Amino acid sequence: MNIMEYLCREAKRITDLSLKEVGDPNRWVETEEERRRIFIDMLGLTEYMKMEKRPPLKLTVTGRLQRGDYIIEKVHFQSLPRLYVTGNLYIPKDLEKPAPAVLYLCGHSLEQKHHYQAHARKFAQLGFVTFIIETIQRGEIRGHHHGAYHYGWFNWYSLGYTPAGVEVWNSIRALDLLQSRPEVDPQRIGVTGISGGGAMSWFLTAVDKRVKAAAPVCGTATIASHVCKRTIEGHCDCMFWINNHMWDLTDVGALIAPRPLLIASAERDWIFDIQSVRLIYRRLKRLYEALGRSDDILLVETPGGHSYHKNSRLLIFAWFLRHLKGVEASPEEVGDIDESPESQENLEDLRVFKEGLPPDELVTTVQEWFIKPAEPPRIETSKDLEEYRRRLVSRLLEKTFNSFPKEPCNLDVEVELVQESGDWIGYRVGFTPEEGWRLHIHLRRHKETREPVPVVVSLARTARTLNFGDEAMRGLRNRWARAFLEVRGIGETSWSQDLQWLIRRSAMLTGRTVATMRVYDTLRAMEALTTLNWIDKDGIAVMGSGEMAAITLYAALIKGGLRAVILQSPPPTQNVRSSPDGSGPAIEMLNCLRYTDLPYVAGLLWPTDLIFLGPRPETYRWAEDLYIKLGPPGTVKHVKNLSVL
């Protein structure tokens, strides 16, 4: 099996299982809040949603445009201190009582308020207070959506950061603002938008029950279609949650049910496959039927590519009239948007910041602070460490390594070849860490070594290691066996670096990363070695160099009880950027930085002997200080070769 076949298999598994069976409709009601909590966490919003009191919005109106039957207020607010959101608020004139409202969420078009103004204007003319807000990427203050997509910021995955989280939070605060306005009926708010705005319409409605009706446009697809049909290649990072719970969009939609949901999609959308849209609709339709609300979900398909169509616009307007105003209207009565040049406001008239951008803004750096990395734990005693380590491993197995198979497959360990050279015996050992993968260990032992034999498991960085060994092993005494392990992506299962960008992004959608797959391979390799009757099961050490040191650390943390962990040139942290094309080391692991980092993991290995082969980064001083504080039997060694073992 190659890596893309594997990721496609896992993506299909996610899609196939998502909402496959509706079952007892009461189950969906009873589990709704727990499922919502999970989705909120995958957006990176847990701490923000727990706020007892949200910070002041500091709404500022920078200008007003008086038009025939509506007013446009040019506004900005702060969803968090100094996190500015710009928008235009369209308010119908002569309102006799609070009116329903529509939050319009923008797609990735430039000059968003200007580009989508005809939609907001039409809603206002239909009697809806309409708030069109801009994104952090394409608003007046230009932040970043394209972290992993364009810049190689795969550390976003380790942080559990997705720009979708920021956009949903900004939208939640926009709902706060709408509900505070005297012109708005707070119980009648809907949301819509296209493309990125379509995706955010799904996400916001799932997260916030104040949204009473939704109409996402060209923002619908399955995980399987994104990975297997490679539509992910055209998608911004904001289109996805950090998928450690391996959800599909149907799971998100199940949080919307039974509120009114209109799904509008184009038949030839180049990034949203129509077949997957139909699948999502069919499965959600069954849920709506089970909940007794079959008429409150609708799919409209339009001809052509990724765009609005007159049919979708008319149905959306009618949808909100019905569900937010209680008015039944035909498409002819509703009428379409007016995009004639004479009806458009010019760009400068809609601009919010006329005198320049606020110098204290934190929009452009939001990815650096929105998710706070873990601090080093406070550990005073060995009991503190054991308890903290137990909790951390449990948390990581849920948030970072949840893709590990719940029922491990048969290892099928086989000694495929026995070799002899001088005083050494070599073994080629095959094993199956996960269904579909066959990996190999090249194992060497000295003839005179007494059994049981301790073993150093070295994570290979190149296929040449199997035949030529690893220079880092020089000096290791003969009493140790040497096991050179090829994890996925090394040697026989390697893939071209020009696939690395696609693999890293696709893996996240399936709830894993290259690094977490390799952690699992390492754990299963150690298990495979213990099936050999001459191996000392209590004498296993593991070694990694460069990016493999990160794999080594987490494998050692999860397994526990190793004789030694040997690190050569370990990465100083997992919070590091990668290359824009995705090539090079891949050490990201979903959400891990929310709970720990490599130097902290190293310290938590006490009392396992911690050995630095060559210089160590300064960041590991914390680990060394902890070892010194806790004392024997744990030791830290700095060595030039492995003769100390």
**120-175 tens-digit pLDDT:** 999 999 999 999 999 999 999 999 999 999 999 999 999 999 999 999 999 999 99
> And the tokens for 360?
């204290």
Sheet with strand 83-92: strands edge to edge: 60-66, 70-80, 83-92, 129-133, 99-105, 184-194, 211-217, 261-266, 297-302
**Residue 473 above 90 pLDDT?**
no
Q: What is the mean pLDDT of the chain?
A: 96
**Residue 201 above 70 pLDDT?**
yes
Which pLDDT score is estimated for 466? 63
φ and ψ at residue 284, rounded to 5 degrees: -70, -35
Say whether the peptide bond before residue 633 is cis (omega within 30 degrees of 0).
Answer: yes
With beta carbons less than 8 A apart as the criterion, state whether 426 and 444 touch: yes
φ and ψ at residue 248, rounded to 5 degrees: -115, 175
Which pLDDT score is estimated for 597? 98
68: exposed, middle or buried (C-beta count within 10 Å: 0-12, 13-18, 19+)? exposed
Euclidean distance between CA atoms 455 and 562, whole angstroms: 11
DSSP 570: -
pLDDT band at residue 187 under the 50/70/90 scheme: very high
How far is the CA of 300 from the CAs of 58, 110, 315, in angstroms? Answer: 39, 26, 8
Nearest to 69 by CA among 132, 128, 131: 128
DSSP 257: T
> And the tokens for 564?
């030694």
DSSP per residue over 506-542, as a string?
HHHHTT--HHHHHHHHHHHHHHHHTTSTTEEEEEEEE
φ and ψ at residue 458, rounded to 5 degrees: -105, 125
**Mean per-residue pLDDT, 232-249:** 97
Domains 3-369 and 382-644 share a fold: yes
How far is the CA of 326 from the CAs of 260, 265, 318, in angstroms? Answer: 13, 25, 10
DSSP 96: S
**Residue 332 above 90 pLDDT?**
no
Query: 214: which strand partners?
Result: 191, 261
Q: Give residue 345's region: left, alpha or beta (phi > 0; psi -120 to 50).
A: beta
Nearest to 154 by CA among 552, 593, 551: 593
What is the β-pairing status of strands 70-80 and 129-133? unpaired
Which pLDDT score is estimated for 471? 80
Which pLDDT score is estimated for 36? 98
DSSP per residue over 584-634, as a string?
S-----TTGGGT--HHHHHHTTTTSEEEEES---GGGHHHHHHHHHH-TT-
In the chain, the amino acid numbered 248 is: D
Which pLDDT score is estimated for 463? 82
pLDDT band at residue 645 under the 50/70/90 scheme: confident
Which pLDDT score is estimated for 644? 86
- Cα angle, residue 54 at apex, residues 51 and 60 outer, rounded to 5°: 160
With beta carbons less than 8 A apart as the criterion, state whether 227 and 511 touch: no
Euclidean distance between CA atoms 510 and 4, whole angstroms: 12
**Mean per-residue pLDDT, 65-94:** 97
Which pLDDT score is estimated for 467? 62
Each residue of 202-224: pLDDT tens digit? Answer: 999 999 999 999 999 999 999 99
> And the tokens for 645?
């073992």
Which pLDDT score is estimated for 331? 82
Is the domain 382-644 a CATH 3.90.650.10 member?
A: no
Question: Which residues are CB-contacts of 611 (< 8 A; sequence separation ≥ 6)?
Answer: 564, 565, 566, 567, 636, 637, 639, 642, 644, 645
**Residue 469 above 70 pLDDT?**
no
**Residue 481 above 80 pLDDT?**
yes
Percentage of the residues of the chain whose pLDDT score is greater than 90: 96
Asked whether the CA dihedral 503, 505, 508, 514 is positive or negative, the reply is positive
**Residue 452 above 80 pLDDT?**
yes
H-only helix segments in 291-419: 310-320, 331-334, 347-350, 366-369, 382-399
**Where along the chain do its domains lie?**
3-369, 382-644
Which pLDDT score is estimated for 11? 98
pLDDT band at residue 464 under the 50/70/90 scheme: confident
Could you give the 3-state DSSP secondary structure of residue 10? Answer: helix
Euclidean distance between CA atoms 91 and 95, whole angstroms: 9
What residue has token string 């002997």? Answer: 609
- The CATH class of 3-369 is alpha beta
Euclidean distance between CA atoms 424 and 202, whole angstroms: 62
